[in-house]
Chains A and B, each alone.
Chain A
């Protein structure tokens, strides 16, 4: 169910990026897509009642190197969180570049409407 909602969010972003005529709305659409994917990655690692994947001393036996079973069963998967952090930074970089190009284009053409920004053809 949650995955379906997440996919719906992705499709809303794709629709927005493909159909809208305003440059800023297209940028929003792409960002919604990116956040839908980030959300999906987080959900992959999460399960209900999960705990943060940080071991405290009581759960780790330094003699045998064993980790308590309760920790292994309850903690969420930390890897997708690391991936999402990276993806968010990448998304920030491309968002900044996209918005700055939108601003420069607005200065040149005086409009955000992509139907009026059509010098390149053929």
Chain B
């Protein structure tokens, strides 16, 4: 079945603007509509697996008009976005009852989803910027949604750094337009191959790297993330950590580096260094945290490092003219880890939301012994922790294993050693979570704690099942060839992207 590409952007945007109208008839109508929108997006994303298509908006032919491109990489990100947004939306049905103005929340949520879908589908670099701003501005508002002291402070910090990043990206787009005379990614890529990298384009490239790294919160650009992600309501934390930093940061950075500018040895090293510093610094900072959600936020930085490291390693091997199979394996590891991290980190944030809703606190030292009181939350949290720490049958193990094999194959033994070491640190921090939240003694004031049932439970079980089953994506060849391999192919093909898109 072929789904017209603008639907992926039109459905969430249209629903977002309709919701305030329906909200007058009661919150229930708005909630059902919003859930319908996310579920239909999930179904449509599943229908478009394995397709490569170009859509010309308004039937303007390619260099004149805006075009939307669906290829393997976009499809992977679309799947991640729709899975996480479906779960987070289900979770918010009950969780957001504690806040006022639920319809506004749902509108902003859908605006963010629409913006992210637009970013991953856009084949036009200015259009990418516009959708990136839609998603970012919605997320600034959602971080400050609680309007408490800490929420506002975090939101302001996030917004200042986010706006600076956006301005850098716009500046880079202006430089690229001035030097190549086109805004279409395929045409820009052709022009750069023809003229080579002059000073203006090199400056634009560095601005792109800084801007997208700020959006992706890679160390040393991570200062906003540990404040912003814990301050948001739990389903929004799940969206931000699960997919927003990937769609706006990692996806856009990788697309620009691999398909527009073409990967070079120095860029490969830049990605590897950004990845390694994020992994190590994120893991060490996370271990020292006593706030449940803050620990998860630092751990996101660390896990995102794996993704960037895998992709950077693959890019380096390609740029050095090394074995393409090794490069594909490294990129496969990175992209698979991206998908896994989207699922288990959003599950962890949802469980933290469930714990916070039941007990009213997220300080690890004030919690304890909740295993008996919150059996389902505990089970979901254990599955997610096992996945993120890389315990064998769960999803995180497979992607880390692929990354280690890829690093050893390419003779980067020290990188493999660091990957294993950071995995150990991750195991330690999630043992700490288990120990202080679910084991140990139950404090007096938490005797009356009750499990959250209904939609919150359904959302957590859905993601927990995915955590267990995701390993099949690499083990079963049919699934691997339809979801992961096309995405890897987009990156290993690199600059051939332009000829494919123009010809298609």
Q: Which residues of A contact B (CB under 8 A)?
A: 10, 14, 17, 23, 26, 30, 33-34, 37, 40-41, 44, 79-80, 83, 86-87, 90, 93-94, 97-98, 101-102, 104-105, 108-109, 117-120, 122
CA distance A22 to B163 in the complex (A): 17
CA distance A23 to B159 in the complex (A): 12
6 additional contacts (CB under 8 A) given A34-B170, A101-B159: A30-B164, A44-B177, A86-B130, A98-B159, A101-B144, A104-B147
Instruction: Evaluate contact between B140 and A41: CB separation under 8 angstroms.
Output: no
Given the known interface contacts A30-B163, A44-B177, A86-B130, the answer about A120 and B150 at a Cβ–Cβ threshold of 8 Å is yes
CA distance A37 to B288 in the complex (A): 41
Nearest to B156 among chain A residues (CB) is A101
CA distance A33 to B163 in the complex (A): 10
CB distance from B244 to the nearest CB of A (A): 16
Instruction: Evaluate contact between B144 and A80: CB separation under 8 angstroms.
Output: no
B499 at the interface (CB under 8 A from A): no
Majority-rule SS of A interface residues: helix
**Which of B147, B163, B171, B231 has most A Cβ within 10 Å?**
B163
CA distance A113 to B234 in the complex (A): 29
Chain B residues with a Cβ closer than 8 Å to the other chain, count:
36
Instruction: Evaluate contact between A33 and B164: CB separation under 8 angstroms.
Output: yes
Nearest to B153 among chain A residues (CB) is A117
B418 at the interface (CB under 8 A from A): no
CB distance from A37 to the nearest CB of B (A): 5
Given the known interface contacts A33-B164, A122-B289, the answer about A97 and B140 at a Cβ–Cβ threshold of 8 Å is yes
B471 at the interface (CB under 8 A from A): no
- Give the chain A neighbours of B155 by CB distance below 8 A: 101
B447 at the interface (CB under 8 A from A): no
Chain B, 15-36, contact with A by CB distance < 8 Å: what is the 0/1 string?
0000000000000000000000
- Give the chain A neighbours of B157 by CB distance below 8 A: 120
Given the known interface contacts A17-B160, A122-B291, the answer about A44 and B174 at a Cβ–Cβ threshold of 8 Å is yes
Instruction: Evaluate contact between B156 and A23: CB separation under 8 angstroms.
Output: yes
- Give the chain B neighbours of A40 by CB distance below 8 A: 171, 174
Instruction: Evaluate contact between A83 and B126: CB separation under 8 angstroms.
Output: yes
The 5 sampled A-B contact pairs (Cβ below 8 Å) are A37-B174, A44-B178, A83-B174, A94-B133, A122-B288
CB distance from A76 to the nearest CB of B (A): 14
Instruction: Evaluate contact between B160 and A26: CB separation under 8 angstroms.
Output: yes
Nearest to A80 among chain B residues (CB) is B177
CA distance A63 to B408 in the complex (A): 67
CA distance A30 to B174 in the complex (A): 17
CB distance from B147 to the nearest CB of A (A): 6
- B residues 151-186 in Cβ contact with A at 8 Å: 152-157, 159-160, 163-164, 166-167, 170-171, 174, 177-178, 183
- Give the chain B neighbours of A30 by CB distance below 8 A: 160, 163-164, 167
Instruction: Evaluate contact between B149 and A93: CB separation under 8 angstroms.
Output: no
B45 at the interface (CB under 8 A from A): no
Instruction: Evaluate contact between A104 and B152: CB separation under 8 angstroms.
Output: yes
- Give the chain A neighbours of B174 by CB distance below 8 A: 37, 40-41, 44, 80, 83
Across the A-B interface, the 6 shortest Cβ-Cβ residue pairs: A44-B178, A120-B227, A33-B167, A105-B152, A90-B133, A41-B174
Nearest to A109 among chain B residues (CB) is B149
CB distance from A19 to the nearest CB of B (A): 12
B87 at the interface (CB under 8 A from A): no
CB distance from B124 to the nearest CB of A (A): 11
- Give the chain A neighbours of B130 by CB distance below 8 A: 86, 90
- Give the chain A neighbours of B156 by CB distance below 8 A: 23, 98, 101-102, 105
Nearest to A119 among chain B residues (CB) is B150
- Give the chain A neighbours of B289 by CB distance below 8 A: 122
- Give the chain B neighbours of A117 by CB distance below 8 A: 153
B345 at the interface (CB under 8 A from A): no
- B residues 294-347 in Cβ contact with A at 8 Å: 294
Instruction: Evaluate contact between B171 and A94: CB separation under 8 angstroms.
Output: no
Chain B, 182-212, contact with A by CB distance < 8 Å: what is the 0/1 string?
0100000000000000000000000000000
CA distance A95 to B294 in the complex (A): 28
CA distance A67 to B289 in the complex (A): 67
Instruction: Evaluate contact between B137 and A97: CB separation under 8 angstroms.
Output: yes
Given the known interface contacts A10-B171, A97-B141, the answer about A108 and B152 at a Cβ–Cβ threshold of 8 Å is yes
CA distance A10 to B157 in the complex (A): 20
CA distance A94 to B342 in the complex (A): 27
Nearest to B155 among chain A residues (CB) is A101
CA distance A10 to B174 in the complex (A): 13
